[in-house]
Amino acid sequence: MLKIKSENGGVRVGGITFFDVTQTFDCGQCFRFTVEENRAAGFAFGREVTLTQLSENEIYINPCTEKEYRELWERYLSLDTDYGAIRAELKSIRRDDEKLALAMETGRGIRILRQDPWETLCSFIISQNNNIPRIKKIIDSLCRAGAELTGGSPVAFPGPDALVRMGTEGLFALRTGFRAAYLYDAACKVLSGEVELGGLFGMSCAEAETELCRIKGVGPKVAACTLLFGFGKLDAFPIDVWVRRVLTEYYGDSVAPSSFGRYAGLAQQYLFYHRRYVEG
DNA sequence: AGCCAGGACAAGT
DNA sequence: ACTTGTCATGGC
């Protein structure tokens, strides 16, 4: 049971297991946070927030009220989910998988965030054939441009209406390159309701992927990342160059994503983190 | 200078 | 169904 306590304008959350601020915010799933030492500072859901790891089992969220914690951050951070049970199931399904066991140990503090679906979709459209520092830079300039356009705060991620108003030219001017047309198409289809993001929560991964892939510039990988990091679908299994390496090097390509079970996406993230950030 | 980065698409086999 | 060149951009 988690212990929640207000303190100095923030909330202290104790009794946490399998959560590490640094690993969670620096494992390539989000792009609006900067990580240093034992803290992550950035933006989500139109708010600026700092998360600090006080100890292995305790974090501090600031600014934050108990109400905000319950209604927003607990779900965002997946602290409402029993990762001990999930990890146990994963291990039982992959009983003889020593590679995964090692990756799960090095990345034991990783949690899959439940980010805003629209922001996640755009972020991973931008991510294609791109590197993480530049992805962050583009997203940041996109938020600034959105604020400039609407008169709102650059803390918020601009909605589909704002992107439509920017137009392909405006988006291209933000150095998005060939992704400008993709972002514009995503904005048009979401704004018109041709693709209804809210409806994807109730769909299976395969069905939701089909819907997302109706957007130009959204293929299997971007769709999987959106479903995993934006919709909390833990079976979504993105395959990028690093995961491809893992699959060939560890398993000789003789493994299907489904063989990792209903938490295949989380397994993927452990493997990605281990191969990309630990093994180099 | 050339290659790579959390890819997708169109054109060609 | 599977392979290949192309798409902007910036860092190395």
- What is the pLDDT at residue A1? 85
Query: Which positions of chain C lie under 7 Å from any protein Cβ?
Result: 7-11
Whether residue A48 contacts residue A76, with contact meaning beta carbons closer than 8 Å, is answered with no
Domains of chain A, start order: 3-80 (3.30.310.260), 117-218 (1.10.340.30)
Q: Which residue is nearest to nucleotide C8 (CA to C1')?
A: A177
- What is the pLDDT at residue A254? 81
Q: Which residues have CB under 8 Å from A92's CB, separation 6+?
A: none
Q: How far apart are CA A257 and CA A236, in angstroms?
A: 9
- What is the pLDDT at residue A253? 77
Residue type, A71: E
Residues whose C-beta lies under 7 Å from strand B: A 27-29, 124, 127-132, 134-135, 178, 213, 215-223, 225, 238-243, 268-269, 272, 276
Give me the percent of chain A exceeding a pLDDT of 70: 100
| Strand C contact at CB of residue A244, distance < 7 A | no
Q: Which residue is nearest to nucleotide B8 (CA to C1')?
A: A217
Query: Which positions of chain B lie under 7 Å from any protein Cβ?
Result: 4-9
Instruction: Answer yes or no: is pLDDT of A279 > 90.
Output: no
> Per the structure block, which two tokens stand in for A97?
């998988």
Name the nucleotide with the smallest C1'–CA separation from A134: C10
> Per the structure block, which two tokens stand in for A230?
């934006």
Q: How many CB atoms lie within 10 A of CB A239?
A: 15
The SS3 assignment for A48 reads strand
For residue A216, indicate whether it is catalytic.
no
Of the two residues A189 and A280, the one the predictor is more confident about is: A189
Whether residue A157 contacts residue A122, with contact meaning beta carbons closer than 8 Å, is answered with yes
Active-site hit among A3, A99, A221, A233: A221
Sheet of A33-36, strands arranged across: A3-7, A10-14, A58-62, A47-55, A39-44, A33-36
| Strand C contact at CB of residue A241, distance < 7 A | no
Q: How far apart are CA A174 and CA A63, in angstroms?
A: 31
pLDDT band for position A154 (cuts 50, 70, 90): very high
Name the nucleotide with the smallest C1'–CA separation from A128: B7
Q: Name the packing angle between helices A160-171 and A132-150 (round to 10°).
A: 110
- What is the pLDDT at residue A78? 98
Q: How far apart are CA A30 and CA A28, in angstroms?
A: 6
> Per the structure block, which two tokens stand in for A269?
């993230």
When pLDDT is averaged across residues A266-274 and rounded to a whole number, the result is: 98
Beta bridge partners of A48: A43
Name the nucleotide with the smallest C1'–CA separation from A127: B6
Name the nucleotide with the smallest C1'–CA separation from A131: B5
> Per the structure block, which two tokens stand in for A102?
């090692």
- What is the pLDDT at residue A265? 98
